[in-house]
Amino acid sequence: MKINIKKYGLIAFVLFAIFITSSISGSNNVFASTPQQLYDQVWKLINSKYVDHTNNQQDWKRWRNKYDNVIKTDEDSYVAIQTMLASLNDPYTKFLDPKEFEDETSSIKGSLKGIGVQIGLREGKLLIIAPIEDTPGEKAGLLAEDEILEIDGKSTKGITIDKAADQIRGEEGTYVTLLIKRKNQENKLYKIKRAEIEIKSVSTKVPEKAQLDDCVGYIRLSSFISKNATTEFENALNSYKNKKGFIIDLRSNPGGLLSNAILISDMFLDGGIIVSTVDRDGYKETTRATRKYVTDKPIVILINKGSASASEIFSGAMKDNKRALLVGENTFGKGLVQEVNKLMGGSGANITIQKYLTPNGTDINKKGIAPDVTVELTEENVKAKDDVQLKKANELLVQMIKNQSVCAK
């Protein structure tokens, strides 16, 4: 059985793990009936769909019967599958036991439990990709690019994303202690209380101490994951009928539903390509705007190193179509597409099946998207609540508006 979220798919959020851009195809999964058949099912999925047809330069057949007569229990199959998938050296292709799969799918419903951060692996380092707005992680002061050295006193060296997620999450009201390494600072311990996290997609609340011109509308899009994100975003646009331009804040937005990224892009584009995907056989599928755009008013998009996945799809579509000006810092660089498969007994497997390209055909994986105007936000700026990126976005947007009309005060 597949989880079908239109043809565009979804971004799967594993609690405390990275958002993964996911594309769901319409083929049928056959439910396995034994632990051995569960292993076989995952092997077949990789063999037929994994984006790298060399399977990380290895003979995939060697795994086919490797654990025959060894797998006896569900736990045996879980360990065998995880070992097999680890050989791909792809942090986004992974097996989820029933609890992990439940955590992943619960995010689509709009709530999850934990401290509210997304983590990922880069060059063997466990990094915070982004804290979710108004969560214990953000309130504690965790930032994008923070490296987690220890979880409750245990080293994260050689840890997987799944194991890190298991160690970080826990019962609501309990605490987790993270040892954080931050550039140019001494390592610091953060003791954070776990809570139930409500996923908020859209906010029009202007950040504290920020001063925007009256003609500017501000929309903070913290994630694309909620099924209601597109409706919330359109409602925010409609509430700004009297504004002459928009600042769309995607900073530390780790991604969400790919369909949301496409639909929100479509609100601003009068034709043109939004995104393309390429599979293991080189087949390229292109999604274009429908010309049913909501507004043609000027846009500035704020991005940073925590802007990933669906955020990069939206930013890339706006930049390559010359529809918006990007301000801030280079984005994260997540340009791979996963398929989410529901397996026997409620377990699941996320499998990288495609890469995506921006409208200009750019592969941004591990590279990210560069802003049109680079503005760094230092920790001193954050402490002083001096949002120099937002200031610059306001300045540039007002100039864009004045080039079209008079910015009414």
| Active-site residue set | 309, 320, 334
- What does the angle CA 144 – CA 145 – CA 149 come to, to the nearest 5 degrees? 120
DSSP states of 31-85: PPSSHHHHHHHHHHHHHHH-S-TTTTTS-GGGGTTTTTTT--SHHHHHHHHHHHH
Instruction: Give CA–CA dist 355/296, Å, rounded.
Output: 30
Instruction: Give CA–CA dist 313/265, Å, rounded.
Output: 9
CA distances to 40, 41, 95, 100, 207 from 33, in Å: 11, 10, 17, 20, 53
What is the 8-class DSSP label of residue 60?
Answer: G
Instruction: Give CA–CA dist 317/358, Å, rounded.
Output: 6
Instruction: Give CA–CA dist 13/394, Å, rounded.
Output: 32
**Pair 353, 280: CB distance under 8 Å:** yes
